[in-house]
Amino acid sequence: MSRFWSDAIKRLTPYVPGEQPKEAGITKLNTNENPYPPSPLAAAVIRDFDTDRLRLYSDPDCTALKEAIADHFAVERKHVFVGNGSDEVLAHTFAAFFQQDAPLLMPEFTYSFYPVYCTLYDIAYKQIPLRDEFVLNLEDYNQPNGGIIFANPNAPTSRAIELGEIEALIKRNPDSVIVIDEAYVDFGANSAVALTQRYDNVLVVQTFSKSRSLAGMRVGFAIGHEDLIAGLERVKNSFNSYPLDMLAIASATAAIKDQAYFEESTQKIIETREWTMERLAELGFISLPSKTNFLFARHRLLEAAELMGYLRTKKILVRYFSKPGIDNYLRISIGTQEEMQRLIDTLEQHPDLFKLPLNQND
Ligand SMILES: *Cc1c(COP(=O)(O)O)cnc(C)c1O
């Protein structure tokens, strides 16, 4: 605390990202990064980049990238907004749409950045409990609201919901903006992008960080009605004219055009996820059904915090949230097949595991 901080800054509770370890030899399963490299087309663009161009500012409108995204989703360019990671796109979304008389609704357990933006932008919000086994039921959102946001699939719970339920929610709330954060949608869920073409109150946010292996480039985007996009542009142009650098624009543009590589790498991750879920079950873990590149799992008998610490001593990082309600779960990112084999082998060597009657029911 400093006497120079404004009152608004004193009230903030910043988001805490997962650890990015400096030491070598760590198996990193804690921040849902993609274990495979970006598309070779993106790598080639970076390798061949003419660095003389860096004298100039990047394209403030990111036209080439917006066009590539629009082509990919078969929408018009005016329906596409891009930003410096989807975190920035989300931040602008909160600033543009959610300062209303009624509170913003969000799930009790979801991406923990949402409440942080609410505090930053002074937005009232209400957290809606999930049902048993962390099921998100949109019927629970039938109440006065100044907007609704959730992730689909949800994080850290990994569950996805059906588009029919989302469309019904959009219809029930024609005067609210509904934001669907699809950071993980490419790992087995259905995207709501088509709904953005039929309703003027829905915004879909996606990222290049997870399914396209470009977390380090910081590229995210939103698709929605042109008036929603124009609102986001107003915020963006009141904040930073050049949020994406030239390398980010060029590499993301190349990456989204490489459909074959995208399908191959996401499919590998899905297969490794299902394999890992079965192996974990044999070791006494219960994982929620996942449509993401991570598993949200608890052990029948061992405590999550202890397991996280044990794995840390074996140089394997997983994510643990000490928040009541989810504090006996681990969020385990899906790495390569070899990394997940290492996780399973390490868990098998846990000193308490062999004592446990694992074939009993809960
Ligand atoms: C990773 C993630 C993001 C942020 O992605 P960036 O594009 O890297 O900023 C947003 N929402 C959810 C739910 C995420 O898991």
Per residue in 125-144, pLDDT tens?
999 999 999 999 999 999 99
DSSP-assigned letter for residue 207: E
Centre of ligand 1 to C-alpha 94, Å, is 15
* Ligand 1 atom closest to residue 208's alpha carbon, by position in its atom list: 7
User: Containing H/E element for 253?
Assistant: helix 246-257
pLDDT tens digits, 58-114: 999 999 999 999 999 999 999 999 999 999 999 999 999 999 999 999 999 999 999
Centre of ligand 1 to C-alpha 188, Å, is 17
Q: Which of 246, 249, 189, 257 is nearest to 221 (CA)?
A: 249
Q: Residue 19's pLDDT is what?
A: 86
Instruction: Choose one of 154, 159, 207, 331 to mutate for the ligand 1 pocket test, by most ligand atoms within 8 angstroms of C-beta.
Output: 207
Nearest Cα residue to atom 15 of ligand 1: 183
pLDDT tens digits, 153-181: 999 999 999 999 999 999 999 999 999 99
Chain region(s) in the chain for CATH 3.90.1150.10: 14-36+260-348
Q: Which residues line ligand 1 (CB under 6 A)?
A: 32, 85-87, 111, 151, 155, 181, 183, 207, 209-210, 215, 220
pLDDT tens digits, 261-281: 999 999 999 999 999 999 999
pLDDT tens digits, 178-215: 999 999 999 999 999 999 999 999 999 999 999 999 99
CA distance 123 to 326: 25
Q: In what order do the strands lie in the sheet with 330-333?
A: 27-29, 316-320, 330-333, 294-299, 285-287
**Residue 255 and residue 220 in contact, taking contact as beta carbons nearer than 8 Å:** no
Q: Which of 234, 172, 182 is nearest to 203 (CA)?
A: 182
CA distance 77 to 70: 5
Centre of ligand 1 to C-alpha 206, Å, is 8
Angle CA 4–7–13, to nearest 5 = 105
| Residue 6 CB burial class (10 angstroms; 0-12, 13-18, ≥19) | exposed
Please give the distance of CA 319 from its chain centroid, rounded to a whole number: 14
**Residue 249 and residue 64 in contact, taking contact as beta carbons nearer than 8 Å:** yes
Tokens of 131: 């049902």
Instruction: Choose one of 15, 16, 33, 86 to mutate for the ligand 1 pocket test, by most ligand atoms within 8 angstroms of C-beta.
Output: 86
Find the mean pLDDT for residues 6-17: 91
Is the predicted pLDDT of residue 361 greater than 60, yes or no? Answer: no
pTM of the predicted protein model: 0.96
Q: Residue 203's pLDDT is what?
A: 98
Buried/exposed code over 211-233 (b: 16+ C-beta within 10 A; e: otherwise) = bbbbbebbbbbbbbbeebbebbe
| Residue 96 CB burial class (10 angstroms; 0-12, 13-18, ≥19) | buried
Architecture label for domain 14-36+260-348: Alpha-Beta Complex (3.90)
Q: Residue 101's pLDDT is what?
A: 96
CA distance 303 to 53: 53
Instruction: Choose one of 32, 159, 181, 290 to mutate for the ligand 1 pocket test, by most ligand atoms within 8 angstroms of C-beta.
Output: 181
CA distance 82 to 40: 22
Centre of ligand 1 to C-alpha 349, Å, is 33
Mean pLDDT of the chain: 96
pLDDT tens digits, 303-360: 999 999 999 999 999 999 999 999 999 999 999 999 999 999 999 999 988 776 655 5
* Ligand 1 atom closest to residue 219's alpha carbon, by position in its atom list: 7
The amino acid present at 103, given as its one-letter code, is P
Chain region(s) in the chain for CATH 3.40.640.10: 40-257
Q: Residue 359's pLDDT is what?
A: 56
CATH 3.40.50.1110 fits 40-257, yes or no: no
Q: Residue 214's pLDDT is what?
A: 98
Q: Residue 256's pLDDT is what?
A: 98
